[in-house]
Amino acid sequence: MSIDVKTKPIVNFDTLRLILDNMVDGVIVADDKCNFIVYNSKAEEIIGRSVTDSKQDIWPTYFGIFKPDQKTLCPPEELPMTRAISGEPVFQEEAWIRNENVPNGVWVSINATPLRNEDGEIVGGVGVFRDITNQKLAAQKIEQAAEDLARSHKELQNLAFAVSHELQGPISIVTSYLNLLSIRYKDRLGADADEFIDKVVSASKIIERMLDDLWVYARINKQETDTREISLTGLVDDLLNEMRSKIESNGATVTRAILPIVRGHKAQIHYLFKAVLDNAIDFRKPNCLPRIDIRVEEEADVWWFSVEDNGIGIKQDECRDIFKLFHRIHGKPEGGRTGMGLSIARKIVEHHKGQIYFESEKGTGSIIKFSLPKSVA
């Protein structure tokens, strides 16, 4: 530590030196002529240079003080100490320091404030800085990992989008010819052949539905701009008409509250309600007619919807898995289901900045709750 003062120090010199030299931060004090009058050993350790012979006009080149781009030397008038002496406080400004004694460079975070006398006149500046190289490198690694993850996620989305699109044509042809084979050769090749053909036809239809769902799943984040005001009362009523055959064949009863207007992607919201209603009807109790109730509650900037059923339900510890892609309760396709419906529902809700939950107890039915943004009107 070096101290160059002409007045008697307020505290014991040795105590002040001990305090400064045990600080984890570098400390430098300059007078109003930009001459350094106080500095500690940590300051020289961080910047790799002695500060005794340096002048303000050569600070950038002498110390190697660069802007955060790590390429541009910081002009003398833009240095935190210069600005502090001019009356401008500087807080947590980052700089890159590299010189022959610090060849790999260090990142520093700098605070600088004007030094004022008892009359409030500026008589210098105080700079305190800390080596944040490890934090910066860690942050850069995290940022790079996030970029890599985002890029991989986008590549996977694009792959799923392309694969689902390109395979739809071929699988449609396969399914069509299998149907023709079943129609033309049924009862002509024997019972075993009929069974085999039926299984292949059934499997091909499941694959076709899975590709359709994968296509929907992959396109959700690509549909950014097509949002509008949606009357959910009209949308749900139209959906119930579309599902009339399934509802009536299962003896289901669906009731709904008066539903609000929301802002979103209409086709996606349509799929969301259909997936939730399909789930409620498909997992009915044996010998029990399905009852489904759609309710809504207002909260801040969102609407919370709940779809409650009296179906078979699941164990509470299984609820967290229900929205996983290709998740099936019994580990295999049920009734031609693809295992993607609720996964798509979750992604649609999240795409609309909402949340979705599944509440259930085995044998007592289930409730799916999700939020959607209100209309801006």
Which CATH number covers residue 232? 3.30.565.10
Same domain assignment for residues 189 and 299 = no
Residue whose C-alpha is closest to residue 71's, from 52, 46, 96: 96
Are residues 71 and 123 located together in one domain of the fold? yes
Q: Are residues 112 and 238 in the same domain?
A: no
Q: Where among 81, 114, 131 does a domain terminate? A: 131
Question: What is the DSSP code (8-state) at residue 73?
Answer: B
State whether 239 and 372 are in the same domain: yes
50 and 173 both lie in a single domain: no
How confident is the prediction along the chain (377 residues), in pLDDT tens digits per residue?
544 545 555 567 778 888 888 888 999 999 998 888 888 989 999 988 887 766 777 889 889 999 999 999 999 999 999 999 999 999 999 999 999 999 999 999 999 999 999 999 999 999 999 999 999 999 889 988 888 887 877 777 677 667 666 677 777 787 787 788 878 877 777 788 878 888 887 777 777 777 777 767 777 776 665 788 999 999 999 999 999 999 999 999 999 999 999 988 998 999 999 999 998 998 888 888 999 999 999 998 899 999 999 988 877 777 777 777 776 665 444 555 667 788 889 999 998 889 998 988 787 889 999 999 887 54
| Nearest alpha carbon to residue 212 among 321, 327, 341 | 341
- The interaxial angle of helices 341-351 and 191-219, nearest 10 deg, is 10
Domain that holds residue 371: 225-377
- Domain finish residue from 131, 150, 169: 131
Domain tally for the chain? 3
Distance CA(372)–CA(111), nearest Å, equals: 44
- Domain end, chosen from 89, 109, 131, is at 131
Q: Are residues 274 and 364 in the same domain?
A: yes
Q: What is the CATH number of the domain that holds 203?
A: 1.10.287.130
- Verify that 140 and 236 share a domain, yes or no: no
Amino acid identity of residue 266, one-letter, is: K
Residue 132's identity, in one-letter code, is I
Q: Which of 41, 43, 32, 37 is nearest to 6 (CA)?
A: 37
- What is the residue whose two structure tokens read 């050569």? 58
- 247 and 357 in a single domain? The answer is yes
Strands 356-360 and 366-373: antiparallel
Residues 195 and 296 placed together within one structural domain of the fold: no
Q: Are residues 14 and 90 in the same domain?
A: yes
Based on the fold, state whether residues 9 and 126 are members of the same structural domain: yes
Pair (142, 193) in one structural domain? yes
The reported pTM is 0.55
What's the token pair of residue 53?
């012979």
